[in-house]
Amino acid sequence: MAGVTDRPFRQLCKQLGAGYAVSEMAASDPRLWASEKTARRINHDGEMEPKAVQIAGADPAMLAASAKFNVDRGAQIIDINMGCPVKKVCNSWCGSALLQDEKLVADILDAVVSAVDVPVTLKFRTGWDRLNKNALTIARIAEESGIAMLTLHGRTRADGYSGEAEYETITAVKATVSIPVVANGDITSPEKAQYVLKTTGADAVMVGRAAQGRPWIFREIEHFLRTGEILPAPLISEVRTLMSEHLQAHYAFYGDYMGLRTARKHIGWYVRDLSDGEPFRQRMNRLESCEEQLAAVDAFFESQSERGERLQYRLAEEKLAA
């Protein structure tokens, strides 16, 4: 979720019911801490608690120093990334590439847990590939190292994001360890969240890509788990307000030049399943000022109100026809 879960988006997700939102993956190399990109990724000024920073790297001492650096800057939870499948990350022996070296995993976890006095959590995958699944071993190592919580994505590194997540391994990990386990992978609806919780016995679910353009999914899940009822789609009037607040916070965080450009992907996610969303996205991508972009988004959602007071997502067959 690098490039997605920045502070404005995390704040919005928390406002809409997410109990926990982790920062973008931040490099552990101290030479990068002062860079604009890393500094922005670990910026939690004014963010709702808990403030969780995710770190990535392959050197135990460097990761330990990074954890301490972030705690000194206000991080309340340190999350270690051993789940990212992206090639450039794995080529540096970071992310899910670490799953190939169980001793190194143990060394990293021991070093980071010993370095800070806040909870340390671990995000990982089921293994390197389907012939080399070692999530149970990694989970036991993590528990012995003092890791406070595990988040397990039901795919291997080789799977990337293709196919469907499997939950059998998450079920087995939950049955093996006594620390909390969070199930991750293809949690795309309240019904799917309930199914995964019941199937795996996990303590919670983590939503990733499904929140892109739909940050209200968190309150939808919470409401369904609590009441068994599906919330109606959000009011367009509410979405207009949320979009305005999100975009203005985004511009303030990145500055006008970068904010305009990085907001385009968020706007694209918001409109992708709505009528006339794709033509609007193409027009919006040609706008060259934050004021124009903000006004265009507001006008788009105002036009959606002609179809009713609530968002109306296109049916699957309509998307295929388009």
Listed in sequence order, the residues at least 6 apart from 262 whose beta carbon sits closer than 8 Å to its beta carbon are 3, 250, 254
Beta-bridge partners for 93 = none
Kind of pairing, strands 127-129 and 132-133?
antiparallel
Whether 290 sits among the annotated catalytic residues: the reply is no
Residue type, 310: R
Using CA atoms, how far apart are residues 38 and 70, in angstroms rounded to an integer? Answer: 11
Find tokens 């595990």 and name the residue: 150
Tell me the two tokens of residue 305: 């109100």
Using CA atoms, how far apart are residues 5 and 20, in angstroms rounded to an integer? Answer: 12
Of 84, 90, 94, 290, the catalytic one is 84
Q: What angle do CA 118, 93, 8 make, to 5 degrees?
A: 50
Kind of pairing, strands 132-133 and 26-27?
unpaired
Listed in sequence order, the residues at least 6 apart from 101 whose beta carbon sits closer than 8 Å to its beta carbon are none
Count of CB atoms situated within 10 Å of the CB of 262? 17
The residues that are catalytic are 84
